[in-house]
Amino acid sequence: MEENPAGRKLRPEKKKEEFLANLSKKIQRKKILFLNTRFASVRFHRWHHEKKRFLDCIKVFVFNLKAEMCRLLLKHYGWEKEVVPALAMIVERTGYVKLEGRRLEVTLRRFANREIDYAARHLCEDLNRMQPVTPDKFRFPIHYRVQ
């Protein structure tokens, strides 16, 4: 006779019956868990699909914004094949953001390449002509410039 974890002695046939009973309980719990996760998965999948659509909209917006910025930059930068890398250099350039009064000043550091510096200055002028504002409730006007 062996002892089970509960501390009582079991005969071999009782042990087998208890094992099968516990196993059937575990299987039933797993079925219930599987059904719950399945329905939760459907809800998650629907939410995941909406999240994916939202991210796709952002990607399309960014693509269109990048294309428009390239068009603006192409007016002032003569190398048509290098417009995208030049735009990346300008956009990723470090700088300073400062709130002066009710106006947000965005100042980019100078560029070593004179052509890119020239293009960046004119791109800032073009952006300033559009009179951009912050998207929050304060709607501060944004002013771009190169140092």
| pLDDT tens across the length of the chain (147 residues) | 445 555 555 555 566 667 666 656 665 555 544 444 555 555 556 666 777 787 788 888 888 888 888 888 888 888 788 888 998 999 888 899 999 999 999 999 999 999 999 999 999 999 999 999 998 899 999 999 999
Q: Let me know whether 52 and 102 are in one domain.
A: no
pTM, entire model? 0.60
- Of all residues in the chain, the percent with pLDDT exceeding 90 is 31
CA distances from 107 to 68, 93, 94, 97 (A): 21, 10, 9, 6
Q: Is 128 in a helix, a strand, or coil?
A: helix
Taken as a whole, the chain contains a residue count of 147
Q: Is 103 in a helix, a strand, or coil?
A: strand
Q: Let me know whether 81 and 142 are in one domain.
A: yes
Q: Are 141 and 102 in contact (CB under 8 A)?
A: yes
Which residue range forms the structural domain that includes residue 25? 9-66
111 in any annotated domain: yes
Residue 59 host element (H or E): helix 12-74
Q: Let me know whether 61 and 95 are in one domain.
A: no
One-letter identity of residue 90: I
114 in any annotated domain: yes
3 in any annotated domain: no
DSSP lists the bridge partners of residue 22 as: none
Name the domain boundary from 21, 48, 66: 66
Q: Let me know whether 57 and 104 are in one domain.
A: no
**Kind of pairing, strands 9-10 and 95-100?**
unpaired
100 in any annotated domain: yes
